[in-house]
A and B are shown apart, each in its own frame.
Chain A
Amino acid sequence: MAAGPQPTPNSSTSTYAGFGVPLILPAWVIIGFFLVLPVGIMMVYSFLTKEFRGGVIWEFSLSAYDQFFFYRGLFGDEAPTIEWTYIIIFWRSIWQAAVATLFCLFIGFPTAWFIATRTGRNRSIWLFLITIPYWVNLLIRTISMKFLIRDNGPMNELLINSGLISEPIHIINTNLAVQLGLFYSYLPFMVLPIYAAVERYNFALSEAAADLYASRTVILTQIILPTVKPGIIAGCILVFVPSLGAFLAPDLLGGAKNFMIGSLIEEQFKGAAGNWPFGAAASMILLSMVLVVLTLYARQQTREQG
């Protein structure tokens, strides 16, 4: 019963935790070589002049960014007006990614909650089931989805045969198809962080709230959601960011009308029509947008913990 001196959990960290820097060095090398360096190259390329058959000429130029934001007529000699084409593509990408993120949240949160509240073995089985589709290549999954939802595909056939609808639902080559594709591609990235947050959730908090006269709705909105918020935000970022730059789903499911940033960038580096500095500039703009979102998030996190 007497509380003797209790060993602090970290008392021997300095002795057995290893050697600091050497542990992180391999990761630094990989990140430096495969992340910082390519992004640096991209940044440099975005300020160079384009070579017509792909590639760049080593000559400083702002024309890539200029082309993104301004229209100067067919021969480049008119007074500049705002070029909406690419801004609209960016805006559409943000919209598509946001809708996909919302889909993921509405399906992912209850799923994650369900899994996190199972016991022992059941929980592992459910988690395993969630990850099974991701053993198949993303390209193959997206193509199968295309076949599944096209006008005379199995989904429509089933619905027509069951008498629920008489005309096929036209989904393929619409925004909805892209959103569904993105949703399907990134759902686990929503489920897993929320699962981790809910698993750590102390259900005594719900009891305490109920004990203090809170209804189920109040418990959800005022206790549970704020407590698992880091998981929700992490999930949203993990879905939103890759959705924003995705090109498989918009290419295969959205058709030509539903062009997104990813496809725009991809096109600049493919074949003779390419414009490397322009593709690099579009990438840099995308990257800065993502960084703004992440910085805002990080700021808010530190403010809450501080």
Chain B
Amino acid sequence: MNNNVAVDIQNVTKMYGAFAALKNVNLDIRDNEFFTLLGPSGCGKTTLLRTIAGFEDITNGAIVLYGQNIADLLPNERPVNTVFQQYALFPHMNVTQNIMFGLLRLGHDKITAKIRVGEVLELVQLSAFADRMPNQLSGGQQQRVALARAIAPSPKVLLLDEPLSALDLKLRQAVRLELQQIQHQTGITFIFVTHDQEEALTMSDRIAVIEGGQVQQVGSARDIYEAPKNKFVADFIGETNLLEVTVTDLSEGMGSCILPGGAKITCPAADGAHAGPGHLSVRPERIAINTSDGGLVQGNATRHIYLGTDVHVEVTLTRGEKVTVRMQNSAQIQIPEVGQAVGLEFEADAARLLVD
């Protein structure tokens, strides 16, 4: 991977009538990167992908692909290819014809196109299926044909629109690894759209979390999970507890605040956090329960949720807020009874002050 910019999305806005599907989106997607657009359904991530492919025109802004603004080009004039959510394989063509379609449009002769088809079929391990019709393939196989078809013309950028969402869980996990491998082997920049945070966290070099047509945060999986910028990101990625706190002072990435119950803590703060009422994010697995006495905040255990390897203990704080604590389900760890008074403790670096 290097730091050359593959796709530079500059101030892109997309209006549907009065509704803004994308608001001033700015993103740099690097060459040879596995970049994921992550967000809940309706957040604008697919719209953004479709504007890059050219299926949606943009109201404002520029989409620069390796130095060239492609925002005004038709889809067939853009050197990007797409893997569609429902694959969109041509039903009247067999696997070879499907994959060859783009190559022939680009002016390759049939012989070189056939050779290339052989290569990509090998890449997706479907060489034995070259003559099958799409309806004779399983979902997973169709998905690979769609991938092979999109890779065959050697695009500079590959767009993937929730390509795994139609597969069952086991297959999805296997295909994740394969996709990553193929991305490494081909060196193509992948822009991957998903609403599945696990998919995003495990596969991506970098993730852009999108909500309400705006980019909320861009960063590596670790950045986004461990240093969420705002309430939305903290809540959407993984599980977290958001405690209402009063921020007293902020300096150099650290902030002090008063917890419910009056205890004070100084912990990392997100860029842009401000003094006054705010939110503190603490992940359930970073909280310890103190059954004897003390702790930073106090409450009562109100519910157990059994998850197999773990147990979630719901603690209701004195002021009525609910906090979830994840405890390992093991003989050594004592899980508090429902109704028992408990104190909660966590390290300062487990907590994070957010931008509201």
Contact = CB atoms under 8 A, between A and B. Distances in A.
Nearest to A223: B90
A77 to B, nearest CB: 59
A207 B86 CA distance: 12
Interface in B51-70: 53-55
Contacts of B75: 207, 210-211
B84 interface: yes
Q: A209, A213, A222, A227: which has the most chain B beta carbons within 10 Å?
A: A213
B293 interface: no
Is the interface on chain B under 10, 10 to 19, 20 to 34, or 35 or more residues? Answer: 20 to 34
Given A1-B169, A2-B169, A207-B55, A212 B102 contact: yes
Interface in B65-83: 74-76, 80-82
SS class of chain A's interface: helix, strand, loop or mixed? helix
B338 interface: no
A222 B75 CA distance: 17
Contacts of B319: none
B169 A212 contact: no
A218 interface: yes
B105 A227 contact: no
A40 B288 CA distance: 90
A202 B169 contact: no
B88 A205 contact: yes
Contacts of B74: 210
A226 B82 CA distance: 22
A208 B169 contact: no
B90 A208 contact: yes
A8 to B, nearest CB: 14
B326 interface: no
Contacts of B92: 226-227, 229, 304
Given A2-B169, A3-B168, A208-B82, A213 B106 contact: yes
A66 B175 CA distance: 71
Contacts of A215: 76
Interface string A1-30: 111000000000000000000000000000
A204 interface: yes
Interface string B187-198: 000000000100
B149 interface: yes
B101 interface: yes
A227 B76 contact: no
Interface string B20-48: 00000000000000000000000000000
B91 interface: yes
Contacts of A227: 90-92
A98 to B, nearest CB: 25
Given A211-B81, A213-B153, A3 B169 contact: yes
A55 B140 CA distance: 68
B101 A212 contact: yes
Contacts of A252: none
Contacts of B101: 209, 212, 214, 222
Interface string B254-295: 000000000000000000000000000000000000000000
B84 A208 contact: yes
Contact of B76 (A1, A213, A226, A304): A213
Interface in A180-233: 202, 204-205, 207-215, 218, 222-223, 226-227, 229
Is the interface on chain A under 10, 10 to 19, 20 to 34, or 35 or more residues? Answer: 20 to 34
Interface string B152-180: 01000000000000001100000000000
B72 to A, nearest CB: 15
B168 A212 contact: no
Interface in A125-181: none
A207 B84 contact: yes
A213 B91 contact: no
Contacts of B91: 205, 227
A203 to B, nearest CB: 9
Contact of A207 (B88, B105, B150, B196): B88
Interface string A250-285: 000000000000000000000000000000000000
B88 A208 contact: yes
Q: B74, B86, B88, B169: which has the most chain A beta carbons within 10 Å?
A: B88
Contact of A218 (B55, B82, B84, B105): B105
B110 to A, nearest CB: 15
B90 A204 contact: no
B82 A211 contact: yes
Contact of B105 (A1, A204, A212, A304): A212
Contacts of B55: 207, 210
A205 B90 contact: yes
Contacts of B90: 205, 208-209, 223, 227
Contacts of A218: 105
Nearest to B100: A212
Nearest to A211: B82
Contacts of B153: 212-213
Contacts of A222: 101
A213 B88 contact: no
Given A1-B196, A218-B105, A210 B76 contact: yes
B331 to A, nearest CB: 28
Contacts of B53: 207, 211
Q: B80, B86, B89, B105: which has the most chain A beta carbons within 10 Å?
A: B105
Contacts of A202: 86, 88
A230 to B, nearest CB: 10
Given A209-B90, A209-B101, A223-B90, A214 B76 contact: yes
Contacts of A205: 88, 90-91
14 contacts: A204-B88, A205-B88, A207-B55, A207-B88, A208-B90, A209-B101, A210-B54, A211-B150, A212-B81, A212-B101, A212-B105, A214-B76, A222-B101, A223-B90
Given A3-B169, A213-B153, 4 more contacts: A207-B75, A208-B82, A211-B76, A211-B102
Closest 7 A/B residue pairs (Cβ): A212-B102, A213-B105, A204-B88, A208-B88, A3-B168, A210-B75, A226-B92
